[in-house]
């Protein structure tokens, strides 16, 4: 699945593929100049997804980033 997505990005001209033609196989992918033009869009999506820094985990719409928060909350409720 990942390889298919990388191939699509290469075909769309967003990333470059560098095959070292070595054994074992070694391939490097990098974002090219055209792909870097998408960075403002990617940054806007990232900013939109991030919860406000002042949000508490119990507020609607906030996202937890640390899975141990759920465990700690369960222990407090016991």
DSSP the chain: -HHHHHHHHHHTTSEEEEE---SS--EEEEE-HHHHTTHHHHHHHHHHHSPPTT--TTSTT-----THHHHHHHHHH-
pLDDT: which is higher, 29 or 59: 29
Whether the per-residue pLDDT at 22 is higher than 80: the answer is yes
Average pLDDT, the chain: 81
Residue recorded with tokens 């390889």: 3
Instruction: Give 1-49's CATH code, choosing from 1.10.300.10, 1.10.10.10, 3.40.1310.30, 3.40.50.150.
Output: 1.10.10.10
pLDDT over 70 percentage in the chain: 67
Judge whether 14 and 5 are in contact, CB under 8 Å. Answer: no
Q: How confident is residue 50, by pLDDT bands cut at 50, 70 and 90?
A: confident
Whether the per-residue pLDDT at 20 is higher than 90: the answer is yes
């Amino acid at each position: 699945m990942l390889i298919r997505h990388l191939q699509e990005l290469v075909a769309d001209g967003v990333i470059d593929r560098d095959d070292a033609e070595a054994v074992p196989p070694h391939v490097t992918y990098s974002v090219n100049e055209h792909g870097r033009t998408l960075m403002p869009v990617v940054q806007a999506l990232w900013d939109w997804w991030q919860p406000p820094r002042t949000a508490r985990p119990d507020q609607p719409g906030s996202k937890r980033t640390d899975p141990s928060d759920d465990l700690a909350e369960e222990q407090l409720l016991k």
